[in-house]
A and B are shown apart, each in its own frame.
Chain A
Amino acid sequence: MKKVGTPEYDLSDKLKYHVSALSTAAKEMALPLNITTHYPRERKRQPDCFRGYMLFDPERCISCFQCSFVCPANAIWMKDAPSGRYYPTVDYGKCIFCHFCIDSCPGGALRTTKIHDVAYKTMDEMFTSTEEMIEPPEIIREDVGVVDYVIDKEDLSLKRTKEKDELIVDVEPSQGVPMVSVCVDRGSCLACKVCDMICESGAVSSVVDEAAMTVKMAIDAEKCTGCGLCVKECSMQILRLVRK
């Protein structure tokens, strides 16, 4: 059996290690490998896909609730707007900046920025309404330079350049795959009209046949935005999202 204990050092080893420690300290004192960014005066250059403060474009939103469904922290709540649509609001007290909402947004209505320094005075202010998400927040810029982290060989070093980093990135929003909702089993339809009630774009219509005592539901593929709300809410689960 091998026993693990403290290593035994004799005097020469000890002297060697003491000298080594002191000389390392002296070397670092003269030429430190300092990688500190002096934050308010300079900013670290973040990648374009940095997961920061989120902006919202209501023109692209199809009110599909995907962001709200996917949010693991339950930070996104949909609020109804005067236009009858539902738009997301973000509670930054809960948000963990995973940006699943941005990744899941089919229309590209949500997008990220490089803003990571937002301060709130109260907890209530952290609940960001849709109107506040449309325009980027007011930022007081004190920085005069940008810092890039450069990895050369083994060591990390800083590269400082005198320029202002643009915090609002212009990333092309994902177009997504155009989807449309179809009914796969018309015989099972109960005609409960849940799909009709929930549809934001008015793509679902019903035709009442008085003689046969039946109601026929129809989905207009042109009007359908492919938000998938009817698929989620269908009581018989006979609706599917398919590619247009």
Chain B
Amino acid sequence: MIDISGLISTIMNNSVNIPLLYVIYEFLLKIPVLGGIVAFLLDFSILGMPVVKSIIGFVLWKPFFTLIIIPGFATLGTMLLVLPWLERKLVGRMQWRVGPREIEPYTRGSIQLLADTFRFLFQEVIIHKDAHKHYFLQFPFLYFIPVLLPLLFINAGAAGHPLVPIQTDYALQIMIALVSLMPVFIIGAAWAANNRFSFIGAVREAFMYFAYEIPFIIAVLAMIVLYGTSNTAEVISGVNQSSWLNWGIILNPFAALTFFIAMAMATSRLPFDIPEADQEVAFGPFVEYTGIVFGLAYIMAYEKAYVLAAIMTMLFFGGGSGPVIPYLGELSYGIWFVVKTLIILLVLVNLRGVYPRYRIDQALSIGWGAMLTLALFALVWSVVVVVVIGVII
């Protein structure tokens, strides 16, 4: 026999506290007919287990809430729907264009990506004769593993209120390892496509991979040294990030700059969209993909950007810390986290309205030269800051 009351109390003790829900509940109870229905629904129980209450409690249960809602799949999905539209709209404004508009003109073409998704869904998936059929189809889907697993370790909370599905002392290391795994699948997909453009794209991807990976890892390492921990729950509260003066970007701006450039390289955004250069190699590794598989490939760069922007928010922008919004309780941390992540993503995607593309030799020289130097300097700077803070406090 399952101990239902024990289970419920376990869930209730570890749930996201949102006072607004109680306010809404009490307001609903005052309405004559609707209040009765709400009261009946909440008291309705099967085998001594209140059904609706349990469902609400389960949704608000922290492990579920963090994985599915903030900062998990729901946030990721919303970002994927909103971000390409915002990018096209803002870059359009920069270049004196209009951007997507004709689909739903009253909201300025906001459901453009939904329409694109439908188009991708109903398009034929063509597998050409030269492709290695099984690998060709499997790699874009396998790519989801390293893209989605880092969501388990993203902390959207503030100091003392972690909103993270799994707390572990190796969270940052695991995330970096998974992020580093992504180019392998891209290269695999390009190899399976067996096309000259995708081959060139794969080689370029490999070059870029080595150019950004080492500075990227050293930049994160600098922040681990600074905070003295790699647990994402403790990183937020590590140097009391509730005050913006203690944010990582203030303590170590060099690591932040390195991380941001590495992020642009890792997600193949302009000015580093060398592997996917549309005008030269026609979307590089994904040149042969059609239909929904191409849609996946197109959207994957944004997913990777979300994961990296979330890491950047945690490491450099104080996670979910910010002014507490009344009545929202712990949800306000999540909202601040999403807002910060969105701002970072917008800066990242709008780089393509500003910079032209670097040549591959220039990008490699940036990666192995300036960025590596900057990353090593950031590491030394971190050690100095830790020593200075240790002496002062």
A28 and B94 in contact, given A21-B354, A22-B354 (Cβ under 8 angstroms): yes
Q: Which residues of chain A have C-beta atoms less than 8 A from B353's C-beta?
A: 25, 29
Bound state CA distance, A25 and B346, in angstroms?
A: 12
A29 and B350 in contact, given A36-B96, A36-B97 (Cβ under 8 angstroms): yes
Bitwise, A4-26 to B at CB < 8 A (1) or not (0) is 00000000000000000110110
Q: Do residues B94 and A32 form an inter-chain contact, with CB atoms below 8 A? A: yes
Bound state CA distance, A25 and B95, in angstroms?
A: 9
Bound state CA distance, A38 and B98, in angstroms?
A: 9
Q: Do residues A34 and B96 form an inter-chain contact, with CB atoms below 8 A? A: yes
Q: Do residues A34 and B98 form an inter-chain contact, with CB atoms below 8 A? A: yes
Q: Do residues A34 and B354 form an inter-chain contact, with CB atoms below 8 A? A: no
| B90 on interface, CB distance cutoff 8 Å | yes
| B355 on interface, CB distance cutoff 8 Å | yes
Nearest B residue to A31 by beta-carbon distance? B93
Nearest A residue to B347 by beta-carbon distance? A22
Bitwise, B96-114 to A at CB < 8 A (1) or not (0) is 1110010000000000000
Residues B333-371 near A (CB distance < 8 A) = 350, 353-355
| A33 on interface, CB distance cutoff 8 Å | yes
Q: Do residues A28 and B355 form an inter-chain contact, with CB atoms below 8 A? A: no
Bound state CA distance, A32 and B355, in angstroms?
A: 18
Nearest B residue to A24 by beta-carbon distance? B354
Nearest A residue to B355 by beta-carbon distance? A21
Q: Which residues of chain B have C-beta atoms less than 8 A from A33's C-beta?
A: 96
**B350 contact from A25, A34, A36, Cβ within 8 A:** A25
- Interface SS, B side: loop
Residues A26-79 near B (CB distance < 8 A) = 28-29, 32-36, 38
Least distance between B161 CB and chain A CB atoms (Å) = 33
Bound state CA distance, A33 and B97, in angstroms?
A: 9
Q: Do residues B355 and A34 form an inter-chain contact, with CB atoms below 8 A? A: no
Q: Which residues of chain B have C-beta atoms less than 8 A from A35's C-beta?
A: 96
Bound state CA distance, A32 and B353, in angstroms?
A: 13
Bound state CA distance, A22 and B353, in angstroms?
A: 9
Nearest B residue to A30 by beta-carbon distance? B93
Bound state CA distance, A35 and B98, in angstroms?
A: 9
Tell me the number of A-to-B contacts counted with CB atoms below 8 Å. 31
Q: Which residues of chain A have C-beta atoms less than 8 A from B96's C-beta?
A: 28, 32-36
Least distance between A24 CB and chain B CB atoms (Å) = 8
How many chain B residues touch A (Cβ–Cβ < 8 Å)? Answer: 12
A28 and B98 in contact, given A21-B354, A21-B355, A22-B354 (Cβ under 8 angstroms): no
**B93 contact from A21, A22, A24, A28, Cβ within 8 A:** A28
How many chain A residues touch B (Cβ–Cβ < 8 Å)? Answer: 12
Least distance between A58 CB and chain B CB atoms (Å) = 42
Q: Which residues of chain A have C-beta atoms less than 8 A from B95's C-beta?
A: 28
Q: Which residues of chain B have C-beta atoms less than 8 A from A29's C-beta?
A: 90, 93-94, 350, 353
Bound state CA distance, A25 and B352, in angstroms?
A: 10
Least distance between A28 CB and chain B CB atoms (Å) = 5
Least distance between B355 CB and chain A CB atoms (Å) = 7
Nearest B residue to A41 by beta-carbon distance? B105
Bound state CA distance, A33 and B94, in angstroms?
A: 9
Least distance between B333 CB and chain A CB atoms (Å) = 28
Q: Which residues of chain A have C-beta atoms less than 8 A from B98's C-beta?
A: 34, 36, 38
Bound state CA distance, A38 and B95, in angstroms?
A: 16
Nearest B residue to A21 by beta-carbon distance? B354
Bound state CA distance, A244 and B97, in angstroms?
A: 57
Q: Which residues of chain B have C-beta atoms less than 8 A from A36's C-beta?
A: 96-98
Q: Which residues of chain B have C-beta atoms less than 8 A from A25's C-beta?
A: 94, 350, 353-354
Least distance between B352 CB and chain A CB atoms (Å) = 10
Least distance between A101 CB and chain B CB atoms (Å) = 37
Least distance between A35 CB and chain B CB atoms (Å) = 7
Least distance between B257 CB and chain A CB atoms (Å) = 11
Bound state CA distance, A35 and B93, in angstroms?
A: 11
Nearest A residue to B89 by beta-carbon distance? A29
Least distance between A27 CB and chain B CB atoms (Å) = 9
Bound state CA distance, A42 and B354, in angstroms?
A: 31
Bound state CA distance, A25 and B353, in angstroms?
A: 7
Nearest A residue to B93 by beta-carbon distance? A32
Q: Which residues of chain B have C-beta atoms less than 8 A from A24's C-beta?
A: 354
Bound state CA distance, A25 and B91, in angstroms?
A: 9
Q: Which residues of chain A have C-beta atoms less than 8 A from B97's C-beta?
A: 34, 36
Which residues of A pack against B, CB within 8 Å? 21-22, 24-25, 28-29, 32-36, 38
Closest 5 CB pairs of A and B: A32-B93, A25-B354, A28-B94, A21-B354, A25-B94
Q: What 9 additional pairs, Cβ within 8 angstroms, besides A24-B354, A32-B96, A34-B93?
A: A22-B354, A25-B350, A28-B93, A28-B94, A28-B96, A29-B353, A32-B93, A35-B96, A36-B96
Which residues of B pack against A, CB within 8 Å? 90, 93-98, 101, 350, 353-355
Could you pull out 23 A-B pairs where Cβ atoms are within 8 angstroms? A21-B354, A21-B355, A22-B354, A25-B350, A28-B93, A28-B94, A28-B95, A28-B96, A29-B90, A29-B93, A29-B94, A29-B350, A29-B353, A32-B93, A32-B96, A34-B93, A34-B97, A34-B98, A35-B96, A36-B96, A36-B97, A36-B98, A38-B98
